Structure 1
C-alpha cells in the first residue's frame, strides 16, 4: 500500500484540531504552514468554527444588541490573540511534525535579504 501525501478528511479534521500527521505528509504540512495563504487558513480555522458556539448568546432574552455585545466581548480578544500568536502557532506545528521551526518566517527573511542587498548596493557596500 502506497503512503498518502495528502490527508484524508478525518486526518484533516484531526490536523485542524491539533493532531500530528504521518511523516509521509510532511511536504503537505510544510506547504500548509508556510505556503501562500498560510496565515489566512490559520485564521479561518480558528475564527470561523467558534461562531456557532458564540451564536448561543443570541438566545439570551433581551434586545439583540445585548447578545451581539456578549459575542463581541469574547470574539474580539480571540481575534487579537489569534493574530498575535500566528507565528508561535506555526513554529509549534512545524516542531510537532519534525520540521525546522525557522521555516515559519522564511518568507520574511527572504524579503529582508532582498532589502539588505538593495541597501548595500545603493550605499556602495555590495
Structure 2
C-alpha cells in the first residue's frame, strides 16, 4: 500500500496512450499511483470522471452513428440518448468507480473518498475564516 503522498508536488503524468488505456479501465504503472490519486481526488475530479466516461462510451457512439442503417436523425437521437444514459449511470457509480481506480493503484479502499472529504472540509473552513470574511485588517 502507498503511504500518503504530498499534494504540493506535481505527480508524474501518464503518456497519452497510458491515459487512454486508464480511461478505458486499465491500470497504470506503480510510479503513476500518485497521479491516479490526484486525478480522482483533486479539484475537477468529477469533470475528469465524466471525460473518462465519454471516452468509454465513444466506440459505441461511433458505431451507432456510422454502422446502423437508419436515417441520420435516428442515429443522432440514439447516440445522444445512449450518451445521456451512459453518463447517468457513470454519475450514479462515480464514487465506487473512482475508489476502484485508487485501489487498483495500490491505495487502501476509501482513500479517495477520505481525501475528497478532507479537502472539502478544509475549503469550508477556509471560506469561514475571519481573514476571508473581513480581511486581515478587521482584527485591529
Of 79, 88, 91 in structure 2, the residue corresponding to residue 83 of structure 1 is 91
Q: Note closer, same or farther for the CA distance 1:11–1:110 as it changes in structure 2 (3 Å cut).
A: closer
Distance 1:5 1:58 in 2: 37
Q: Which residue of 1 aligns with 2:49?
A: 42
Of 68-77 and 92-101, more deviation after overlay is shown by: 68-77
SS at structure 1 position matched to 2:110 = helix
Number of residue-to-residue matches in the alignment: 113
Of 76, 85, 96 in structure 2, the residue corresponding to residue 68 of structure 1 is 76
Counterpart check, 1:14 vs 2:21:
yes
Specify which structure has the bigger relative contact order, considering alpha-carbon pairs within 8 angstroms and separated by 6 or more residues. 2
- 1:34 touches 1:103 (CA, 8 Å); kept in 2? no
TM-score, normalization: structure 2?
0.62
Structure 1: 5+ residue stretches without partners: 119-126
